[in-house]
Amino acid sequence: MEWVLGVLVGVSLSAACGFRVFVPMLVMSIAVHSGHLNPASGFEWLGSWPALLGFGLATVIEIVAYFVPVVNNALDIIATPAAAIAGTVLTASMVGDLSPVFRWALAAVAGGGVAAGVQVVTASARSAVAPLGASGVVSAAEDGAAVATSVLAVTVPVAAVIVLIILSILLVRRKHKQAIRL
């Protein structure tokens, strides 16, 4: 049953990777470093000082870069596969009680898929508001969502999943209403 909690934590962190790739990596690194989370065997490096410092620096660079219009467009091209990879690694790092084949399949489909899906939606939202000059507002909202989702994922993973489900339902309803108007 412990693997279920691991999946909840991993998938929640993966969803946060869709907002910002490095914020959830940093939050997980802090949680592992402080002893709050215990990753699967082979993923202890996530809590090391080099990982913590590297994720911290990458997080700062990523957040600042998304406020530069030309750079954020380039980052969106790189961020989708990066989010999928980060989501896969974070999910795999939390489910150690499974066979390696099942662990990586679950991590790729659930973690990588969720991260890539969230990233595509956020990139679309930012590009839709870019002509209005509001991409900075969306970027700030994404930063907040990445931090909130990541912190919830490592502290109250069930709540993080519930919040993500509610947001998904609201987003699908909104898209459905827009499709009906067309």
Which residue type sits at 106? L
- Residue 166 carries which DSSP code? H
Evaluate if residue 136 carries a pLDDT over 60: yes
pTM: 0.86
Q: Are 160 and 153 in contact (CB under 8 A)?
A: yes
Evaluate if residue 70 carries a pLDDT over 90: no
Evaluate if residue 8 carries a pLDDT over 90: no
Which is more confident, 128 or 114?
114
